[in-house]
Every structure is written in C-alpha cells, then in structure tokens.
A and B are shown apart, each in its own frame.
Chain A
Amino acid sequence: MGQVLNFLVCAKRRLMSLKQPASDPAAPHAGYLAYGLPILSGLAFPELRVRNCRDAPQVRIHTGDVAPELEGRTGKGALFETARSRFLLRLDGIARYLVTDGDQIVIDPAPGTDEDSIRLFLLGSVFGALLHQRGLLPLHASAIETARGAVLFAGASGTGKSTLAGAFYRRGYRVVADEICALDGDRVRPAVPRLTLWPDAVEELGLWSDAVRQVRPNIKRFHVPVEPLTAHDPLPVHAIYILSLTNRPDFAVSRLGGVETLQALINHTFRRQFIALESGAGYMSRITAAASTIPISRLVRSPSRSLRETADLLERDFTR
C-alpha cells in the first residue's frame, strides 16, 4: 500500500524547468552540507543537511549555459569529458553538468527536466567528479557507523551494498554514506543521509514510509531517508568489505593482502575514469596510503544466502 501511495505522490509532483540566468541576483541560494563540504546552491536539496555557509562555501552550484564539449579535453567516455580541473557530463534530454576546480558545478538542464532527475545525477556522478578534483578518494561503496569506526561495503552494481547498509540500519547502526564514500586519508566523510534501494529491498527491510521517494520519475528505485549521524566529522575507517557474488555455494570472508588491497581499491574507486590524466599520480598515492592503513576483506556469497545470514557473518567479522 505504501508503495502504491508513493507512486501516486511521485506522479503528482510538479515538473518544472529550472533554467535561470546564471547571474540572476534574485535566485534564492541556500546552504547545505555533504561530504564535509559547505555548499551554496541555487537549486534546493531537500535530502541534504541545511548549513548556513553564505560566507564561506567550499562548493557553489548554479544553473547556466554549459557547452557540449570541453575545451582542451584530455580524456573522455561515451557521455563525459575530462580535462585538468574540469569535468563535463552530457546527458542529452536530462542535463549537462560542468564541474570546475573542485568547487563549482554549473547545471544546464534540458527543457522540461524535473528537479529530481537533475539532483540524482548531480549527487551521483557529478559529485564523484568533484570529489576526485578535490583530491579525496571516492569509493563505490556504502558505509555504516560502528563502535570501532566506519565499516564500508564496496562492490560492483548489484552486489548489495545499499541493501546491506539498510540491514545494518535496521539493526541500529547509522548510515554514513551510500553509493559514494569519500575517503579522506584513513577517514570517511559523512555523505547524504539516505539509502538508494530497489523496491524489493525496501520491502524486505520493511522501510516503506511516506518519506520514501522514487529517485526520479519513471525509475522504480527509491531514496529512503535515514537518521543522520550525530556529528559531521569524518570517521576513522575500521574495515572495508568488497562484496562479490558467485553462482557457487561459497560463503566466506577473507582478508586481502599486499597488491590485492591496491587492486581492490582501484577496482572500486567511484568512476576512476573521471580522474583527469594530469591527476593520476595524486590518485595513486591516495590509493597506496588507504591500502596501507585500512584492513580490506572480501565477502564472496551466493545470491541465495539471506540478507540476515550475510549481515550476521559480517557483523561477527567486524566486531571480532
């Protein structure tokens, strides 16, 4: 029932175009906090903590014209381009995003794009590029707060990172991050207080409520707001678990060593291909530093293992 209601609520949301002149002095700007960064934005972010930062924002977000190509680009993918301290994401029919110097994001929405869609890619890939530009180490991972520090769950899409974080949230742990975990040395910065889940996971975790929202119109994935952490400070990382699935009956946690830890962090870096060519050396030194201080293990499991069994196994391991 909650699911049906939620669809209706989402369907009724007003679609609006955001485009305003970049320099419009009347544009309302509000302050937020994510990844430890005070953000001043012309676009409202109901999912972020509000923080008054009019005086000293570290990131500014506004709308404006974004050219379809990046001048002097040194790298590219199918829908993005990179250059020294610049990043362009080009989602035809949705929006173009330009990230500059790790402190500015310009959004150029396509006509008729809704705000949910704009924010979804902004707090995902676009923020990932910004974190790379700032010299942080974003991992494709979720994270929870435990008595011994943050525990991260990294893995490819579909390996259950967010669902596991949700399972621990139900056990009373706080969620530190989902999708993108920004490592700052051997600490992780609290991200956005929410989980992004498929409907069957929301159902399994019993997390349906009026606050659960579709990530964007027509996409049946959901943002589930969670209780934020009590403090905003970066948390020391106690352990990283790499989740992988197998069609064999395996079910075990094993500690990685040596070059495996480097490889694991490289493999699970959030959008490694966003790192500008010129920043490769800095990235490798961050990887090496993290691998030398944070214990990294791998959990291999068959999808037929229940969420409870999986959470039990991990909880035993990280409380040992």
Chain B
Amino acid sequence: MSGIVWLASWPKSGNTWVRIFIANLLGGDQSPAEINSVDLSRQRANNIQMFDDAAGVEASDLSEEEIDRFRPSVFRHLAENSRETLFFKVHDAYTLLPDGEPVFPADATTGAVYILRNPLDVAISFAHYSARSVDRSIEVLASGYCDPRKPAIGMLTQRLLPWSEHVLSWCDGAPFPVHLVRYEDLHERPLEAFSALARFCGLPSDAASVDRAIRHSSFETLQAQERERGFVEKPEVVSAFFREGRANAWRGVLSDSQVALIVGRHAPVMRRFGYLPL
C-alpha cells in the first residue's frame, strides 16, 4: 500500500499553489497542468463524491457523527487501493474523534505537508475570499470556525481551530512526519523550498524538474488560466481566486490596531515560525 500525504493548511495559505505545483511535477509536461483538471479538484479530503464512492452510501443520508466515524475507513480504503501516493488538500485541524481515533489515520498516512502563512496576510486574503470584512476575518483567525457541509458544491464539513491552534495541531499533534513549509519561503527561495517539499513527498526533486514545475505554477500562469477558463474552486461571490499572490502584503493595508489584535492573539506561534518581530 502507498499512503496519503495530507496537504494541510489554514485557508488562503498557499495550499492550492502547492497542489498545482505537485500536479505539474507529477505530470512533468512541457506545458502547465490544467488547473481545472478532475484530479486536482477531486483531491480534497472533504470531497463528498469521494466519500460517497468509497463508502457506498451517501454522506447526505448520514449525521456528522456517522460521517466522522466512517471517514477513517474511507481514507484507509483509498490508501489501500492506490498504487501511487495520494495528495489530499485539507483545511481541517488535526483532531481526534470522541472515541480517541484520529480523523486522519496514521496507518493510511505517509506524512503531511503543513503550509504556513503569516496570519497578517491570511487575514486579508481570507477576507477577500470569503467576502467578509478584515475585522471579521481577524475574529475568525482568533476563534476558528466550522465550515458547514455544502452538498451543492460537494464539500463535507471542515472543522478549523483558531490559526495558532491549527498550526500546532498538525505540527506538534500529528503522530506522522510533518514537513512544514512557509508560504513566504515558497516566494522568496522557491527552488530551495519547493525542492525540499518534493523530496519529502518522494517526488522528482532534480533542479530541472522542480524549476519547470515552479514556472508552470507561477502566479501569472494560474491567473491567466483562471482569466481564460475560470477556476472550479472559486466561490461564486468573488471575482477571482488567484487574486494577488504576494507575501507581506499586509503593510499599508492593515491598521495598527488590526495588527495589534492579530499579534496579541497569535504571538507565540508567530514568533516560533519567524513572523515576529515584525
């Protein structure tokens, strides 16, 4: 059996970028991978269709508790039946079910890539993506949220802890290898950061392959593809998914009091991962 590599992050932290990079690395093609390809959109841990197909019953006939109870079996089944490593995007925190079993079972897992982004930038990006105010977005970073099941777009419930606790749940809480990658490093030192990620995932990590995959998943390429053909994961309420793709965009956007609120809530984790001092 091969296993699952979880691509875990808070929303708007570069998860989609990493998935598209991996798709390009796996494809190894001369042209960029299609961002709307079925494989990319299916590879989400909370994909309802994937759950229904593997379980043999519909999630919509099950309670949240029953879905949680059956999810580990679904992930084990998928891992057992795939010859290749499976890469699943996940925004849920790493948590245990009431019976003590983890939602993301270690015996179906190869490891996790945790993608981390400065919460000062996440606050802005998340506000745009979810059509919330930045203040509301800051509150959500502080309190966490439960994104309810959305059958119309095929998503199971996602349970997010507050930003700090979310980071720690995966980085300190998961009993399998976790490779931490900072969004900012993907921008500033792409070859080094993406090569390390590729090595962790057991993917081709020679400079030529990594460099080509980086170019094929560049922000400009993704934006151009979205302009031309749209992007399946874009919420209907927003105009574009690939909006700015910049690190450290918060300066000049967040007010001093907004910065103080975020830092006040998340200082220990921000300091640990190099986001403090500012």
Contacts and interface: CB of A to CB of B under 8 A. Distances in A.
Given A156-B154, A218-B63, A78 B236 contact: no
Q: Could you say which of B56, B69, B230 has the most chain A C-beta atoms within 10 Å of its C-beta?
A: B56
A215 interface: yes
Contacts of B61: 120-121, 124, 215-216, 219, 221
Interface in B73-102: 73-74, 76-78
Q: Could you say which of A78, A91, A246 has the most chain B C-beta atoms within 10 Å of its C-beta?
A: A78
A78 B77 contact: yes
A12 interface: no
B57 interface: yes
A79 B62 contact: no
Interface in B32-61: 48-49, 52-61
Q: Could you say which of A94, A124, A157 has the most chain B C-beta atoms within 10 Å of its C-beta?
A: A157
A157 B58 contact: yes
Q: Interface size bucket, B side? A: 20 to 34
B153 interface: yes
A76 to B, nearest CB: 7
A274 B53 CA distance: 10
A245 B151 CA distance: 12
A157 B70 contact: no
A264 B203 CA distance: 33
A121 B56 CA distance: 10
A304 B63 CA distance: 28
A254 interface: no
Interface in B135-153: 151-153
B74 A198 contact: no
A93 B48 contact: no
B234 interface: yes
Interface string A298-315: 000011100000000000
Nearest to A215: B61
B206 interface: no
A92 B66 CA distance: 9
Given A78-B74, A245-B152, A156 B49 contact: yes
Interface string A57-80: 000000000000000000011111
Interface in A121-179: 121, 124-125, 156-158
Contacts of A246: 230, 232
Contacts of B59: 157
Contacts of B66: 91, 93-94
Contact of B60 (A79, A94, A221, A303): A221
A215 to B, nearest CB: 6
A248 B77 CA distance: 34
Interface in B223-240: 230-232, 234-236
Contacts of B152: 158, 245, 303
B168 to A, nearest CB: 30
Nearest to A88: B56
Contacts of B236: 247, 302-304
B230 A121 contact: no
Q: Interface size bucket, A side? A: 20 to 34
Interface of A: prevailing SS: loop
Contacts of A89: 56-57
B234 A247 contact: yes
A267 B76 CA distance: 23
A252 to B, nearest CB: 15
Interface string A180-202: 00000000000000000010000
Contact of A158 (B53, B57, B63, B151): B151
A49 interface: no
A94 B67 CA distance: 12
A77 B153 contact: no
Contact of B230 (A93, A94, A248): A248
B239 to A, nearest CB: 11
Contacts of B49: 156-157
Interface in A218-262: 218-219, 221, 245-248
A120 B61 CA distance: 8
A78 B73 contact: yes
A303 B55 CA distance: 27
A273 interface: yes
Interface in B216-269: 230-232, 234-236
A218 B209 CA distance: 51
A286 interface: no
Contacts of A248: 230
B102 to A, nearest CB: 16
B234 to A, nearest CB: 5
Given A78-B70, A221-B61, A158 B154 contact: yes
9 tightest Cβ-Cβ pairs between the two chains A and B: A78-B77, A80-B56, A158-B151, A78-B73, A78-B74, A78-B54, A158-B152, A248-B230, A77-B56
Given A78-B73, A91-B66, 4 more contacts: A79-B73, A156-B154, A157-B60, A158-B153
14 contacts: A77-B56, A78-B54, A78-B55, A80-B56, A92-B70, A121-B61, A124-B57, A124-B61, A158-B48, A198-B151, A218-B63, A219-B60, A246-B230, A271-B56
